[in-house]
Amino acid sequence: MSADVPAVEMHGISKRFGEVAAVDGVDLQIGDGEFFALLGPSGCGKTTTLRMIAGLDIPSEGRLAIFGEEVASWPPDRRPVNTVFQAYALFPHMTVAQNIAFGLQMRGIRGPDADRQVAEATALVQLEGMEHRRPSQLSGGQQQRVALARALVNHPKVLLLDEPLGALDLKLRQEMQVELKALQREVGITFVFVTHDQEEALAMSDRVGVMSEGRLLQVGTPAEVYEHPASRFVADFIGRTNLLEGVTESPSAMRLNAGAVVAAANELPPGSPAALSVRPEQVRLHRRGEAPEGTPCLDGVITDATYLGHAFVYMIAIGPNADAGGSGAGDPAPTITARSETGSTALDAGERVTVSWLPASTTVVAD
Amino acid sequence: MSNLGTAGAKRSSRHLLRANAWFVFAFLYVPIVVLVIFSFNDSERVNVWQGLSPRWYGEALGNTQVVSALRVSLIVAVTSTVVSTVLGTAVALALDRYRFKGRRALDGTVYLPIVIPDITMAVMLLVFFAEAFKLIDVIGPRLTLGVTTITLSHIAFNISFVAVVVRARLDQFDRTLEEAARDLYATPWRTFRRVTLPLIAPGIAAGALLALTLSLDDVVISAFTAGPGATTLPVYVFSSIRQGVTPELNAISTLMLAASITLVVASLALQRPRSTTP
């Protein structure tokens, strides 16, 4: 396999179930050896996309190639990919070793050769000593490892993982994130990972594809997607953000509904409704009037201060009516969330402040 | 009402319920116990007790009519069980996983033989065979009622029972296991053999045992579709009763009871959900 042939290549892939398009015109290239995360809320089509790569669903239209081979119409047993299923789908009537050996057997690999490969895979996921247990005798984390070993023993060209950590508790999930990433580096296989957990996607993957309602909205490295979301949905879904509504004035400025004209680089025609995405950790707090000259700023009143140990989270009512009390009658004043390290001076609710940010740390997003 | 009165009422209703339970229990099982005891009666006459003896079991098994009826019963039961298990399982699988023309109609009617009264089914089958024979007689040899017709009839009602039991098992079956097998290079056929079949096997076995029991116990349908040359054991017992109950019939009935109970218990044990430990 040459380096410039993508592991997975999709062109105009759609999948319709009756009238509903679960996946709608997805174009995507996943590189050899990449750890790629498909991220999106439930029902966004990410699992269907994964199932089409596996061959468990056949695309309604579009082209799908795995390492240059057109596989769209191939049955799953002919595809050089393996899947770790969401609830693991281990065979309950087989032992751990029999589960792991299944794929080898189906390809006609038996005897000492198969035994050696099963032993290697068992060692890879640290399940030595569990070979003769049944899946029902294992913990969730152990079952997960069996599912991984059962797939990896076949040395697939692409490993597909459908929310593999979803069924584990938080602590185990975080351990497995680190372990899975290390495992991927070790085996060098392309991983396509489906998740609805944006932190998991950012933490583990080389690149992220964000999906919503069957469409692939943005593909990029975790930093690109987090720092420069291409749309309102992506900005809101990846991490927490403040979306300040307004209208663009020029390619470099935007009028916020909160009452200020601020520097904001954008490619929209002037007069387009848009939102300025400002991450909470990029928001700086100053006592009223002490904001540095030349940075975009807004006046506001702290309505809530939460101590989180490593940081403070402030809710600040902004806009013309903020001083009159953020939670007065009528329309509630827009609020902005700010996050600051604990080392800084603590501010209390009710304090009149000015918030500012660096224009380079913000992104203008349209609908 | 005082608290004391409520407590008293509670106590007496509990006694009543307990008495009722014992009464129902006795109502169901005393006749069986009587049958079993009297099958070991040494006497020539059913209603005269003369002491314990396995004599009538020997007599029954020495009776050529009984032995030949037993042979027919076993041939019919085994053949109809094998055929109806295969067909019933196939029907259950088809209804569970395929969307085809007439699926709804089949889904609704496949269980009909379970609710149709035996006598209706028997008359139906008799008429069917008579008409079919008329047609076949035109081209081939004369056909008569016998082992074949009984077997066909038993297959006809057993398919439904097997289908019901296997479908219940399929309802609990996790289809992603099949997807996992397909993903691990198994062809559809090997997926069925290595994953689906072993996991629904307890349901199939339970259905088969039920079919075997129903076939061995059936009187009405067998009586209608049996010919002069071939009678099943229950039909033999039923026709012998007209000449009066004999201790020999008690012995045969007890043997059939033992066989039925064994099969039903085995069937129920297989239908129990899989325990978490192997």
Query: Which residues of chain A make contact with B180, given a CB cutoff of 8 A?
Result: 83, 85, 89-91
Query: Which residues of chain B make contact with A150, given a CB cutoff of 8 A?
Result: 184
Across the interface, whether the CB atoms of B182 and A91 are under 8 A apart is answered no
Give the tens place of pLDDT for each residue, A125-144.
999 999 999 999 999 889 99
Counting beta carbons within 10 angstroms of the beta carbon of residue B199, is it exposed (0 to 12), middle (13 to 18) or buried (19 or more)?
A: buried
Across the interface, whether the CB atoms of A89 and B190 are under 8 A apart is answered no
Across the interface, whether the CB atoms of B186 and A106 are under 8 A apart is answered yes
**pLDDT for res A298:** 86
Across the interface, whether the CB atoms of A106 and B190 are under 8 A apart is answered yes
Compute the nearest-CA separation of B187 from chain A (Å): 6
The domains located in chain B, with CATH, are 63-276 (1.10.3720.10)
Across the interface, whether the CB atoms of B181 and A91 are under 8 A apart is answered yes
Query: Which residues of chain B make contact with A87, given a CB cutoff of 8 A?
Result: 176
Query: Which residues of chain A make contact with B184, given a CB cutoff of 8 A?
Result: 77, 82, 102-103, 106, 150-151, 154
Give the tens place of pLDDT for each residue, B3-47.
556 777 788 888 899 999 999 988 888 888 888 888 888 887 777
**pLDDT for res B238:** 87
Using pLDDT thresholds of 50, 70 and 90, give the confidence band for residue A342.
Answer: low
**pLDDT for res B3:** 57
Highest average pLDDT, of A45-49, A247-251, B140-144, comes from A45-49
Query: Which residues of chain A make contact with B183, given a CB cutoff of 8 A?
Result: 54-56, 76-77, 81-83
Which residue has 């039909």 as its token pair?
B235
- For an interface test with B, the pick among A106, A137, A143 (most B C-beta atoms closer than 10 Å) comes out as A106
Which residue has 């080898």 as its token pair?
A104
Across the interface, whether the CB atoms of A85 and B176 are under 8 A apart is answered yes
- For an interface test with B, the pick among A53, A66, A77 (most B C-beta atoms closer than 10 Å) comes out as A77
**pLDDT for res B41:** 83
Highest average pLDDT, of A153-162, A272-281, B252-261, comes from A153-162
Specify which residues A311 forms β-bridges with. Answer: A341
Compute the nearest-CA separation of A99 from chain B (Å): 10
CA–CA distance, B223 with B269 (Å, rounded to integer): 31
A44: which residues sit within 8 A by CB, 6+ positions away?
A211, A212, A213, A214
Which residue stretches of chain B are H helix? 3-39, 55-62, 64-97, 103-109, 112-115, 118-139, 147-171, 176-183, 188-191, 197-217, 220-225, 233-241, 247-271
Query: Which residues of chain B make contact with A136, given a CB cutoff of 8 A?
Result: 276-278
Closest residue in A to B182 (Cα–Cα): A77
Q: What is the percentage of chain B residues whose pLDDT exceeds 90? A: 38
Chain A contacts to B (CB-CB under 8 A): 54-56, 75-77, 81-83, 85, 87, 89-93, 102-103, 106-107, 134, 136-137, 150-151, 154
CA–CA distance, B224 with B231 (Å, rounded to integer): 10
CA–CA distance, A75 with A54 (Å, rounded to integer): 9
Compute the nearest-CA separation of B58 from chain A (Å): 46
The side-by-side arrangement of strands in the sheet containing A242-250 is: A261-263, A253-256, A242-250, A273-278, A363-365
**pLDDT for res A326:** 44
Across the interface, whether the CB atoms of B184 and A85 are under 8 A apart is answered no
Across the interface, whether the CB atoms of A93 and B277 are under 8 A apart is answered no
Across the interface, whether the CB atoms of B185 and A150 are under 8 A apart is answered no
Please say whether the dihedral angle defined by the alpha carbons of residues B166, B169, B171 and B175, taken in this order, is positive or negative. Answer: negative
Pairing mode, strands A158-162 and A190-195: parallel
The answer to whether A177 and A204 are in contact (CB under 8 A) is: yes
Give the tens place of pLDDT for each residue, B144-194.
788 889 999 999 999 999 999 999 999 889 999 999 999 999 999 999 999
Rg of the Cα trace of chain B?
Answer: 24
Global ipTM: 0.83
**pLDDT for res B5:** 63
Task: Determine the residue type at A329.
Answer: A
Chain B contacts to A (CB-CB under 8 A): 174, 176-177, 179-187, 190, 194-195, 198-199, 274, 276-278
Please say whether the dihedral angle defined by the alpha carbons of residues B224, B226, B231 and B232, taken in this order, is positive or negative. Answer: negative
